[in-house]
Chain A
């Protein structure tokens, strides 16, 4: 097999973080290559370097025998590296054909678009990818799976030498995934070079030929043949288990009155009869794949989405939560969003203001107005406790690193004295050291009595932190068990529950 792409010694640093260090990858024609790594391992940074979003600070890349230094994303596409991103990048009201050929609808900007020809050309791609749809159909009428295929068609129509697929199956049903895999295999057999990024190891083993694993921004392995590696080997490469799971004793704190209890809760979004209990000082881990409805459940508890049936109890008393203001003010339930930048923080405001938001009203209850002094008195201890590294308290949080931003998101709820804290994917995009620190902190927080609901798709994180693991799939709770902190046993138990195997819950 001939090599088509090669990267050697790629280095990419951001202030305070080495996102990639001495990373190498090699891709061959006619193969599907897996790019694996946990959240924060550097996968997305590597993809961004390859597709011209970032310029590497060191290292060389070769594409098809020539030096490859993309100046920007457009340049990368022209030179032959196409990406299908995890988020959809289609123009909703435009037709399939227009979306596929968006960059070259006509030879010249002022030339009339020849629609019959455009549709005809698009039909070729639709046939190739077995998409059963009229090229004139607006893409917003398509299923998610078909949209994905349209994006693949779009990338292929640009004569991509390499096609990168970022979590292509995240929102597909098993049947749609099978169809997609059939198409990917055919493209491979026709000589295409594909890069497959996924968290789902079964899929990787099913469809990929070789694999590169990243861990903490470095190669855990480089372009190895997958048939030499077992599943356990891959997991070990990804998580370097010993360092990831601290040596804490298993706890059982499921006793007494639950602080937060969901009884038979159904929501407008489609949650079905969810039962869930979180006790004082307990960390309950809510595991599930992307799209299982975990964050949505959290937001329903917070009063953002309507609960249609069942009830939420706080300290055993039925809680009437009509808005987030109720949840925060009356029941002291805090939520650390998985999306810090768009939901968690006011990026253009200072550290002090971000930590103070939930307590402004409380601090001014008696005196009427807020002084910087009062706010400081009630926030600074927590900012210090969490060792937030910032030049000053007036610093805009947008200028801080991901890890420090996450600390601020947590500090805010410490200041608010939350009795229940829902933490959603706490370690996305933060460095390993901060992650370990956050884990200790979450554990410590539970020791002080806070009831914690931890939502994470990061298996080692789940097994490191949770006292009890509850598994969700398709907006329903599949089951749960106490965490024995035995990695293999727990991960198999979780997988079993996701696949609906009741016996694994034992």
Chain B
């Protein structure tokens, strides 16, 4: 892009992130201790995956309320397969990812071919997937998680970088490559920007919708599996609290909720901001429930900025038309 970097949508979040790090670390040097960085990166890695799974749906101008339910279903499948059937963890992981992928494809196919809004479809599938989760687990966690998985979910490969950073970074790079370098990704953004125009330019809209939901399901499942490693337990409640974060991070990162515009870097920074705020509240022993309040405020602030940009752009459009 030719625009100056300080005009890009990720510059604001970057500025906030850097400022927050500087201020917080000067007030409390332990913020930048290797251990704290490790904790921070663990949270960011999982949350980034959650945010990406929503971001890809925002890109096509829809929403996926079932990201948490898919993640939870994949997580307990992962835990259950290892504990109950004794399946080796890599195979269990692949199978659980496939479950997420299929769940996403189901969402996408319903959205693409019924003409019902994604909101309603994913609201219904949220309930279905969560119900399956609770039916399988009877609301009891799976405790028997292999040590390798626990280690991958918490330890570092290069101090203070935890293993979990690797899938998060890989997902970010691949998503960027997809959205900005592959025709498929360009088509995803075109559909989100103007479905009719995309269709009349020869893009198969139903196919794109299904692909986006499939990617969303896959990423949500990946987040669920990573969380099993990190929590060292196959919790049925995994995914219950993802929804707000999944929207907050892309929106803070400059995504337009009506579709057609998302930023991978911005979303990543959105996740970082949320993680830093959470950490700060813990470090200064402020009531963690305040996180929810701050998160809500951040969403309003970010949407407000996007809305302002939109209105300004629309005014230009209106003024340019006869």
Q: Which of B21-29, B34-42, B198-206 contacts A (4 or more CB under 8 A)?
A: B198-206
From B197, B314, B319, give the contact of A343 (CB < 8 A): B197
In contact, B183 and A324 (Cβ under 8 angstroms): no
Chain A interfacial residues counted at CB < 8 A: 53
In the complex, 7 of the A-B residue pairs with CB atoms within 8 angstroms, ordered by the A residue number, are A14-B320, A345-B197, A348-B261, A358-B201, A429-B321, A429-B322, A431-B322
Shortest CB distance A292–B (Å): 20
The DSSP consensus for interface residues of chain B is helix
**Chain B 1-23 interface mask (CB, 8 Å, partner A; 1/0):** 11100000000000000000000
B167 adjacent to chain A (CB < 8 Å): no
Give the residue name and chain of the A residue nearest to B207 (CB): A325
From B3, B177, B186, give the contact of A353 (CB < 8 A): B186
A335 to chain B: which residues have CB within 8 Å?
200
**Chain A 321-358 interface mask (CB, 8 Å, partner B; 1/0):** 00111011100000101000111111111000100111
B201 to chain A: which residues have CB within 8 Å?
324, 328, 357-358, 412
A396 adjacent to chain B (CB < 8 Å): yes
Q: Which of B78-86, B111-119, B188-196, B276-284 contacts A (4 or more CB under 8 A)?
A: B188-196
Q: Which of B177, B197, B202, B321 gathers most chain A CB within 10 Å?
A: B202
Give the residue name and chain of the A residue nearest to B178 (CB): A369
In contact, B198 and A369 (Cβ under 8 angstroms): no
Shortest CB distance B192–A (Å): 9
A102 adjacent to chain B (CB < 8 Å): no
In contact, A343 and B1 (Cβ under 8 angstroms): no
Shortest CB distance A414–B (Å): 13
Q: Which residues of B contact A (CB under 8 A)?
A: 1-3, 177, 181-183, 186-187, 189-190, 193-194, 196-204, 256, 260-261, 313-314, 316-317, 319-322
A257 adjacent to chain B (CB < 8 Å): no
A124 adjacent to chain B (CB < 8 Å): no
B3 to chain A: which residues have CB within 8 Å?
394
A349 to chain B: which residues have CB within 8 Å?
189-190, 193, 260
Q: In residues 296-332 of chain A, which contact B (Cβ within 8 Å)?
A: 302, 304, 323-325, 327-329
In contact, A360 and B187 (Cβ under 8 angstroms): yes
Shortest CB distance B189–A (Å): 7
Q: Which of B182, B200, B319 gathers most chain A CB within 10 Å?
A: B200
In contact, B181 and A371 (Cβ under 8 angstroms): yes
Q: In residues 397-418 of chain A, which contact B (Cβ within 8 Å)?
A: 398-402, 412
In contact, B316 and A398 (Cβ under 8 angstroms): yes
Q: Which of B177, B198, B256 gathers most chain A CB within 10 Å?
A: B198
Give the residue name and chain of the B residue nearest to A363 (CB): B183
A392 adjacent to chain B (CB < 8 Å): yes
A337 to chain B: which residues have CB within 8 Å?
196-197, 200
Q: Which of B183, B204, B322 gathers most chain A CB within 10 Å?
A: B322
In contact, B202 and A402 (Cβ under 8 angstroms): no
From B193, B260, B322, give the contact of A14 (CB < 8 A): B322
Q: How far is the CA of A319 from the CA of B63 in the complex (A)?
A: 37
A40 adjacent to chain B (CB < 8 Å): yes
In contact, A401 and B320 (Cβ under 8 angstroms): yes
**Chain A 24-62 interface mask (CB, 8 Å, partner B; 1/0):** 000000000000000010101100000000000000000
A128 adjacent to chain B (CB < 8 Å): no
Q: How far is the CA of A349 from the CA of B186 in the complex (A)?
A: 11
